[in-house]
Amino acid sequence: MNFIFVSPNFPVRYFKWAEALKDHGVNVLGIGDSPYFDVHPRLKAALTEYFFVADMSNFEDMKKAVAYFQSKYGKIDFIESDNEWWLDMDAKLRKEFNIDTGFFPEQMEAIKAKSAMKKYFESAGCKTMRYVLVKGPEDLDKAKELASRVGYPLFTKPNVGVGAADSFPLKDEAALEEFLSRKLPVTYIIEEYVEGYIVSFDGVCNLESDVVFCTTDHFPKPVAQVVNGLEDEGYYNVPFSLPMNDIDSFAFEQVGRKVVKAFGIKKRFFHIEFFVLSKDKEGLGKKGEFVGLECNMRPAGGYTPDLINYANSLSCYELYADIICYNENRQKLDGEKFYAWSSSRRLNLRYAHSEDEILEKYKDAMCMHGRYPAHMADAMGDLYYYARFKTYEEGVAFDEYVREKK
């Protein structure tokens, strides 16, 4: 099997996906914009060959890379990046080379545009936030009409975008008018504002869109607040077999599985985000209910796949390779389960406890720690500490200790 891994050097720990595929006998071929000398040594060892493309947004250059691999190694079975930036390019290359193991360009709107995602959530029985699409001053009246139905504040972000970049609230009519006083660079979605936090449904599904493994990530602090305010954060992973203090886990799992089916996700890792309401919202739902936010056809960001592994006592990298190769899981799924926490720090903030104190106090629980690369720091923080615990309360205490300020 020939598997082209697009941008395998970003994030840096993506070498683990390549290693797992190689362990399964897959011929892993890399295309990336990192010079070969800058490729992680473990990634180099996992790849059969690496093709450098200086501008990966250049379709002709990417075509040349794929054509080279195909001429040398034969039929290409998969083209994947597991990186949201390159999903469109992945789709174009699949269509160009008739590789039917992933999405084609005509299917991309459903998995990239936040507005288009809503009908898939709703077909799975999940509520979504009310919205309008706007491009500039000509859309002010319909935005005001939305505000008359759902109230202020509103929340806006690019309809097609990655992460929480350029996402912010519109607190009143004056802010709305200012936002739509000029032509926007791209189409934005304006939604009703809800008070709550994100819980994601993460996992891997097979060719039939059946979920073979799933777990949950909980983000108590809004991601947009972390990004826009350059704040530290703590989030955690909880397997479905453990008690959840913030959501009906049975109902959440059932809806998550239906959403995967509705989107028609096949042989992929997914990261599907839901808002859990922290207070009642008239016309939408009650406190504790969840509404669909967006579906990401890739693993959760940063080093979260490692956090998933620590919580579930498995390797999701190997599990994904099982699905690619055999369309079934061959990993042990009944290992001990934990609440796995990620707590981050900002270099510009002063903390009550030193890193040495953290590592000594939590030496028996610590899984990994380090510094995020600069390109991840805005969204994730500068320093990270991963630890796992048998109870939720222990995890909360860990997060409070790591992020306690002077």
164 and 84 fall within a common domain: no
Greater pLDDT, 131 or 375 = 131
> At 84, is the pLDDT very low, low, confident or very high (cuts 50, 70, 90)?
confident
301, 12 Cβ separation under 8 angstroms: no
In the three-class reduction of DSSP (H, G, I as helix; E, B as strand; rest coil), residue 349 is classed as coil
Q: Residue 158: inside a domain, yes or no?
A: yes
In the three-class reduction of DSSP (H, G, I as helix; E, B as strand; rest coil), residue 234 is classed as strand
> At 397, is the pLDDT very low, low, confident or very high (cuts 50, 70, 90)?
very high
154-158 β-sheet, strand order = 131-134, 188-192, 154-158, 168-170
> At 112, is the pLDDT very low, low, confident or very high (cuts 50, 70, 90)?
confident
Q: Residue 139: inside a domain, yes or no?
A: yes
pLDDT of residue 362: 98
186 and 225 fall within a common domain: no
259 and 350 fall within a common domain: yes
In the three-class reduction of DSSP (H, G, I as helix; E, B as strand; rest coil), residue 356 is classed as helix
Q: Residue 90: inside a domain, yes or no?
A: yes
Q: Tell me which DSSP letter residue 129 carries.
A: -
249 and 387 fall within a common domain: yes
CA distance 385 to 149: 43
Q: What is the CATH number of the domain that holds 156?
A: 3.30.1490.20
204 and 285 fall within a common domain: yes
> What is the percentage of the chain residues whose pLDDT exceeds 70?
99
Q: Which positions ≥6 away from 306 have C-beta within 8 Å? A: 13, 16, 367, 368, 386
> At 288, is the pLDDT very low, low, confident or very high (cuts 50, 70, 90)?
very high
207 and 313 fall within a common domain: yes
In the three-class reduction of DSSP (H, G, I as helix; E, B as strand; rest coil), residue 220 is classed as coil
- Containing structural domain, residue 15: 2-107
Report pLDDT digits (tens) over 127-168. 999 999 999 999 999 999 999 999 999 999 999 876 555 789
Mean pLDDT of all residues in 233-259:
97
Report pLDDT digits (tens) over 290-312. 999 999 999 998 899 999 999 99
> At 110, is the pLDDT very low, low, confident or very high (cuts 50, 70, 90)?
confident
Report pLDDT digits (tens) over 22-33. 999 999 999 999
Q: How many domains does the chain have?
A: 3
pLDDT of residue 170: 97
Give the torsion sign (CA, 223, 304, 33, 267).
negative
How many CB atoms are located within 10 Å of the residue 177 CB? 14
Q: Residue 302: inside a domain, yes or no?
A: yes
pTM of the model: 0.94
Q: Residue 114: inside a domain, yes or no?
A: no
pLDDT of residue 272: 97
